[in-house]
Structures are given as structure tokens and as C-alpha cells.
Amino acid sequence: MVHTVNGCPLALIFIIVWLLVKAKIDVCKRGDVTVQPSHVISLGSAVNISCSLKTKQGCLQFSSFNKLILYKFDRRIYFQHGYSLSSQVTGLPLGTTLFVCKLACSSNDEIRICGAEISVGVVPEQPQNLSCIQKGERGTVRCTWDRGQDTHLYTAYTLQLKGPKNLTLQKQCNDHYCDHLDLGINLTPESPESSYTAKVTAINSLGSASSFPSSFTLLDIVRPLPPWDIRINFVNASVSRCTLQWRDEGLVLLNRLRYRPINSRSWNMVNATNAKGRHDLLDLKPFTEYEFQISSKLHLYKGSWSDWSESLRTQTPEEEPTGTLDVWYMRQHIDYNRQQISLFWKNLSLSEAKGKILHYRVTLQEVAGGKATLQNITEHTSWTWVIPRTGNWAVSVSAANSKGSSLPTHINITDLCGAGLLAPQQVSANSEGVDNLMVTWTPPEKAAAAVQEYVVEWRELHPGASTQPPLGWLWSPPYNLSALISENIKPYICYEIRVHALSGDQGGCNSIRGNSKHKAPLSGPHINAISEEKGSILISWNEIPAREQMGCILHYRIYWKEQDSDSQPQLCEIPYRVSPNSHPIDSLRPRVTYILWMTALTAAGESPQGNEREFCLQGKANWSTFVAPSICMGVIMVGVLSVRCFRQKVFVLLLALRPQWCSKEIPDPANSTWAKKYPIVEEETQLALDRLLTDWPTPEEPEILVINKVLHQVTPAFRRSHHPNWPEKGQGVQGHYTSEEDTGYSASSPPPPRALTAETGQGVDLYKVLGSKGPDSTPGNPASPSTVLPVDYLPAHEGYLPSNIDYLPSREPPITDPWEELPQHISLSIFPSSSLHPLTSSCGKKLTLDQLKMGCGSLML
């Protein structure tokens, strides 16, 4: 019968044990290693290590071939020839060190002989700070101590407790980190004054050490369990009085309570000395979440406080709001009869709201009637309504929770910017860090004493946004001329800032844009449309997205250049404006393809260019882009893009037209040679102009000459005179000067002849303003070219001069032919400068060729 142990045959167990014994024996079968004085030594001690070979375990019969080597871990420290080796080792570190002895014969192979471990440590230090504690009335005694430094050796710690009635308890631990033991005994309150003594002893191979005895009683070491089952009760659902209740152990005599709002770091501490599981609190805030904890103690002077109980969190009840809302408003005119008012208000603080605000009540009334016109309930912090522009209006706003409503805030709706004398001056906004803006201003110049308070409002600019961003504002006393804006200020965002000065129901304002931090925009404007309008183009673009503007945009730049041209592009810089996003350009040549793009600039730099658009001006070009002559009763219309580079070539063209221009008499347009040859001359002129515009190089510094009305002085009818029946200054046709070459008079000198405009909306017949011989006109006092003569001054057919030349003013003195006075260099300055005046329209734009016609009020080729 085969016997088994836990399912394993005994024979198998014997075989395993035999193999293990044989393996241990065979480890040192060639020799031995001995250590003196011991395998365990104290730090700083020396040790002798010897290695010897057993009989017939050497290399050969001669000992001189045996080479014994001693290793410390893997490092060779000593060798010797023969059958034995001995070495003294010092300076071993704390811990365990392994020494191995090996045999080397003639070959390079080394044979392991044997080895030994040497442990270095220190004597245990005396345990310190021995203390014992029993958690709760039914807990067990547990003692702790400080071990001191590590011995690096196996060390045993023995805890011993002695008490009344020959009580002796002892417990031991053996690990390196032994610093506490639980004796497993419960001290009962039968004799709370009985004394107990505890001591701990540490022992290892080098020595031992014991702590000082620690004596205590039950009341000294028992720590009560934390209170439990904590609850709170609000009397009459009011925060003015609440009762906190809990449960604790029977021996507890003292309690302490601490509480705080959830968002606070500091605690409020209360001692409940005579408390029997309850305490009243009278200083809690309404609608505030609090955290409560309780601790207990058995004796006033002995023992220790229990751990804090688990937290109780609860929210106190609400109360009626006590604060008033901070309200601000904006007014916007819709039409002649209506206006829109937008109210904004800030949330009450928690101490003012005293509960959850459920809604806001807005009451609108007309001051004259005194009765509420409209009452509205809203959950938002803004409200918009449309009211008539007539009458005086007032609004009140209050906040409501479950317990009641706050006192209403009353405001009268007035024009906050209507009083210009109250407008603050020199408003500026400067960055104060990443999230702040410092706004400064000066008081109104003539009404500083009337200012009662200032209001600074700001709004984030969202160009093209469908919804308006929230409005921020703050109040400032009249003696304060600066305000630090820190609410909802973000870097790289542009804000519109407005400063109001209020005095009673009147106000004045001034505004500026500002940002706390800026850099160059990330992208350029996107050109979305280019349209042609009478010789010029109108460029429209989309605003850069707000997240890519990186601050307040100061200017836009429009660049253009001819396609496939290596020349530098031209540019036009435009100040920033919110709308409209369009701008005209009137300096492009016809039938030339241009490439246009745009950039935007902040105070930090210029953005990358936006998209490129190609455009070719197809219709009639602006007169400032090419040369085109026209004869109409001695009036020549000339438009030049660049004079300096092609004056000689233009002179060739002018020579062909010289006979008509130099006529001493006023021709009849219907029978003139020019009218008969006009189709042929026009075709030849157009071919010549096309060739000139193609071959002429672009000048480096073009001189722009605006379209001028040239009143040739061969006819004295254009000399300045005054007629009592003519319109005074400010009546009739008004002119506007844009060229510095045509202005050479001061404010006290008589103004030069004015250019024809369309301000009056009536046509001006050139034949009717050339001259008239009236009763008051004399050769020295001809008709003034700055006025329009009545039709009856020229008794002739509509649109023509009378055939009776004697009716015109005298032509003396004779005028020298200007063609005879031409200098060697060819120049267009052959026309008298006093007769060249800009021809403009009422909107200030230069009059283009397609606006001119012969006859009633305009000129035409």
C-alpha cells in the first residue's frame, strides 16, 4: 500500500529532499570559505575571509599550478597560488556583501569553489514616542513608536503591557518596518482611573534597546468614535434659526462643531460643552450651501478629540431679496414715430438675492399718465421693446424668488447722448495686462460742474454677427476720470467703449475702440464684388471673422496692379468703418486687366493679403485715365492720367486740331467743319490714342490732372463783371475746387471762375453764359462766368448764340495767339491757368466724360 501526503506519494517526497540536500552539499564540493569573526559585523569592523581546496580538487599534483581568486560580487579583489587563500577585508558598507572564491588553472576557465555572505549593520536605537490609544469604548489597545534609524539587520520588536491584577501582555513583530502593534485587548470603563504601563524592546544580532515606559489610564487613551447620524432642522423653514442634531457614545462629555459655506476655505468653530446631541445656529446665510462636521471627547482635560464626523451638506432656505438691480439701457431710433429701448441689468449677489431668482418683472409707463402701460415677466437679464418717440417714458425692474421681490429700480428713458455740452473729452483706452483695459477721459469743457456721475459701457465688436454681444458697464463718481475694465475682457478682441456723463435726465457721450492685446490680423478682407460705375469701380468686401482680427482694425488697404506686370502695385488706404464695406477706385485705365486684393492693419501690423480678383474696365473710362479733346464754343475738356511722359506725342494730336481751336470767332456748331468731319476724326483719333496708350511707358511719378473747364480768353465775354440782377454769392451754380494748380487766391481776393456742377439740378447752357451786352455791361465790366444769365439775355434760338456778334461784349484788347508763344519743350500749359477749373458733381466726385453733352447744362463729345 502506497502512503500519500496531500495527494503526493512519500517516495516522491524523499527523492525531492535527497536531491535538495545533495545540491546543497555539492555547492562547495571543491573547497570551503570561512569568515572570522562572524558573518554579521557592525559598521566599520574588519573581517578575515579564507578559501581552501579539498584533497585532489586542485588543477594538478603541484600546488603552483593552482590559482585561487577572491571576488567581491563580480570584482576581483585578491588572488594567491596554492591550496589556500586568506585576506582581510575592511570598509564594508551597510547591508549584505557576497564573496566568492574561484580556481583558475592553466586555461582561462575559472571554477567556482565556494562563497559567503557578510552582513553589516548597527545596534537598534532606543524606540521613542511610545503612545497607546483605544478607538471607542469597544475598541482594542494599539500602540505606536518611532524606530529610529534602520539597523540593516533582522531586528525583532517586542511590545509589553502591564496593568492591575498582574495583567501582563506581550506581542512581537519581526519585519524591518515594525513601528506599531495591536495588543488585542479592550480596556473597560469599570475602573477608568486604573493605571497601565507599556514598553517596547528592539533586539538584533548586534544588541538591543528598550523604550521608556509609558503609563496611562483609560480616559487618557480612549478616543471616542466620531459622531454619526447628523441632521439639521430649519424652524418654520427660516434660516434665522436652525437646530443641528447628532448621536455619539455614552461616555462623551464634550462636542465641538465646525461649519462653512461650500465655496469657503475657512471654518467657523463652535464648542458645544453642555450639548446633548444638539445645537442651535443663528448666523447662517439664506440660500447658501453649508458643510457641517462634529467631533467628541470623553473628558475636559484628559484624552483626545475624536476624528471629525462625515460631512453633512445642506442648503439653507430662501428669503425675500434685499438688493436692487443695477440697470442700464440703450435707445435706438427706428423711424420718425418709433424708438427701440433695450434694458440690461446685472444679477444680484447671493447675499442680495437670498434665493434663486425665478424671474424679473419689467414695468413700462408713460410719465404723464402715471399708469403702467406694460408689465412683462422675463427670465433673462435684458429686455427690448418698441415705444413711441413722443412723450416721457419710465421703466422699473425688480427681481423675484420664491419668497418675494426686490425693491424696483426706476429709470427715466432719455437720450443718453443728446446733450453735446455734457460729452466727455479725450476718451482713451489702454491695455492693463491681458484681461484689463484702463479707460480715461477728461470732463466736459463747459459743463464739468453739472456732471453727477459717469457711466463707462463696453461691448465686444462682432462685425456681421446676427446677435448683439452682451453689454458691460460700470458707474463712476464725478471726481473720478478713469475706470479699469476687467469684466469679460479677452485678449485679441476689439471692444467699443463709450463714456457717458449724466446730469439729471440729460447725458452726453463719447466713444472709442480698444483692445487689451493685439497682433497683426490672421487673414485679409475677402473681396466679394467689383462693379463698374461710370468710368470707376466700386469694391465691396466681407469683414474679417472676429476670431481672426486679433484686435481693433485701424485701416484697410486696397492694392491693384496690371496683370502680368512686374511693377510695384498701387494702393489706397481707407480708415476702418463698420459699414458700408465698399470703396470706389477711379484711377484704372480702360481695357486693361487689373489684379486687386486687400489687407487689414491693426496697431501691431498688417495682415496677409486676402483673395485676389481680376477686373477689366469695359465702359467709358474716367477722364483722368486718358486724353480726349472736345470743341464747344471755345471750351476744351482735357483729362490726363500722366502729363510728363507723353506731352510731345499729345502735341502731335493737337496740331491736327489747331485750326478749330484757334478760331477767333465763335463757330456755329451745326455748320462747323469739325461737326462734318467728326466721324472720320474720331476714328483716327481713337486709333492714335489706342496706339499711344499701348506704347507709352508708365511714368514713375504720374501727375494727375483733373477734368477742367477751360474758358478760352479769346472772347472777352469771360472777364469778371457784376450785374445788379445777377444772383449773389451762394445762389445759382456753385463750384468746388480740387486742384492746387488752379487756386492762387486768398480769402480776401475775388474768387476765380467756378466750375460747372449739378447741385441745382438744372441744366446750364454754355451758350447762355458766354456773354451778354446788357444795359449795365461795358467793355471793362463784362459778364461774370460764375453766374448763369437769364435766357432773355440771349435772344436767339434755343441752344445757339445770336448771329449778331455785335450783341456780345467788346473783344478789346486783342489776345495774342497762344500757338505763337509755344516754348521749345512741348507742354499742355498753353492754356491759361486761370481758365482751368475742375468740373465736379454735387457729391464731390470728378465729372467724367460720359456726363458731358452739348446743350442744356452739360458737355458731350
CA separation for the pair 488, 466 (Å, rounded): 20
Q: Are 425 and 506 in contact (CB under 8 A)?
A: no
**What are the per-10-residue average pLDDT scores of the chain (861 residues)?**
52 67 65 92 92 82 75 90 89 92 81 91 93 90 92 92 89 84 86 87 92 91 92 87 89 91 92 80 90 91 91 92 91 87 91 91 84 85 89 91 92 88 93 87 91 93 69 92 89 91 91 90 92 86 89 93 88 83 86 92 93 82 37 30 41 51 46 49 45 41 42 35 37 36 36 36 38 40 36 39 40 40 39 40 40 37 33
Question: In which residue are the cell numbers 486687386 written?
Answer: 596
Residue 500 and residue 414 in contact, taking contact as beta carbons nearer than 8 Å: no
The string of DSSP codes covering 353-382 is H-S---EEEEEEEETTT-SEEEEEEESSSE
Residue 184 backbone phi and psi in degrees, to 5:
75, 20
Contacts of 514 (CB under 8 A, 6+ apart): 428, 429, 430, 431, 437, 439, 494, 495, 497, 552
Q: How far apart are CA 54 and CA 84, in angstroms?
A: 9
- Show Cβ contacts of residue 385 under 8 Å, excluding neighbours closer than 6 positions: 340, 341, 364, 374, 376
Looking at the DSSP bridge assignments, the partners of residue 579 are none
Secondary structure (H, E, C), 630-661: CCECCEECCCECCCCCCHHHHHHHHHHCHHHH
CA distance linking residue 465 with residue 470, whole number of Å: 12
Q: How much is the pLDDT for 19? A: 66
CA 431 – CA 489 distance, rounded (Å): 10
498/428 Cα distance (integer angstroms)? 10
Is-contact 427 439, C-beta < 8 A? yes
How far the first Cα of the chain sits from its last, in Å, is 140
Rounded distance between C-alpha atoms, residue 198 and residue 211, angstroms? 9
Residue 840: per-residue pLDDT = 38
Partners of 593 in the β-ladder: 616
pTM to 2 decimal places:
0.51
Determine if residue 145 is left, alpha or beta; phi over 0 gives left, psi from -120 to 50 gives alpha, anything else beta. Answer: beta
Interatomic CA distance for residues 259 and 269, integer angstroms: 7
Longest dimension (CA), the chain: 166
Are residues 457 and 500 in contact, defined by beta-carbon separation less than 8 angstroms? yes
Measure the CA–CA gap between 95 and 153, rounded to whole angstroms: 7
Per-residue b or e along 382-402, where b marks 16 or more CB atoms closer than 10 Å to that residue's CB: bbebebeeeeebbbbbbbbbe
CA separation for the pair 848, 617 (Å, rounded):
14
Domains, the chain: 26-121 (2.60.40.10), 128-222 (2.60.40.10), 224-315 (2.60.40.10), 327-413 (2.60.40.10), 420-514 (2.60.40.10), 526-617 (2.60.40.10)
Concatenated DSSP letters for 386-446?
Answer: EEESSS-EEEEEEEE-SS-BPPPEEEEE--TT--GGG--EEEEEEE-SSS-EEEEEE--TT
State how far the Cα of 461 lies from the Cα of 481, in Å rounded to an integer: 24
Q: How far apart are alpha carbons 650 and 666 in whole angstroms?
A: 25
Which residues are paired to 332 by β-bridges? 340
Alpha carbon 810 to its chain centroid, in Å, reads 76
Distance CA 530, CA 523 (A): 20
